[in-house]
């Protein structure tokens, strides 16, 4: 994917608003294209980051006890509908 294009997102939002029957010139929607572009920049910020940078942690402790990591927050976007989803994950593992 190329770099994030804030202006292109802003240009597309009025078409979406018109498509759902809204008037993008309505007072409450005037700043919506910029808000959506800022939101998309944040939610898609990890799109081109290599996952291995987050998975390189290793430990030197010599044990085989269960490790439980709870409440790992995540969020993503469905590529088919562009609908955000989020939740929490829990991971259990034995180090060896």
| Predicted structure pTM score | 0.73
The model's pLDDT over 14-26, given as tens digits with 9 standing for 90+, comes to 999 999 999 999 9
Domain ranges of the chain: 6-93
The residue among 90, 20, 88, 84 whose CA lies nearest residue 46 is 84
**Tokens 């987050």 belong to residue:** 54
Distance CA 92, CA 68 (A): 4
The Cα angle at residue 27 between residues 9 and 38, in degrees rounded to 5: 25
- Helix/strand/coil for 61: coil
Superfamily of domain 6-93: GTP cyclohydrolase I, N-terminal domain (1.10.286.10)
The model's pLDDT over 35-71, given as tens digits with 9 standing for 90+, comes to 999 999 998 988 888 888 777 777 777 778 899 999 9
Length of the chain: 96
């Amino acid at each position: 994917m190329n770099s994030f294009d804030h202006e292109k997102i802003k240009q597309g939002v009025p078409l979406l608003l018109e498509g759902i029957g809204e008037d993008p010139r309505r007072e409450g929607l005037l700043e919506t294209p910029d808000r959506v572009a800022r939101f998309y920049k944040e939610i898609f910020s990890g799109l081109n980051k290599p996952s291995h940078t987050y998975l390189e942690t290793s430990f030197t402790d010599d044990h085989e006890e269960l490790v439980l990591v709870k409440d790992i927050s995540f969020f993503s976007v469905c590529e088919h509908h562009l609908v955000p989803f989020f939740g929490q994950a829990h991971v259990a593992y034995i180090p060896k």
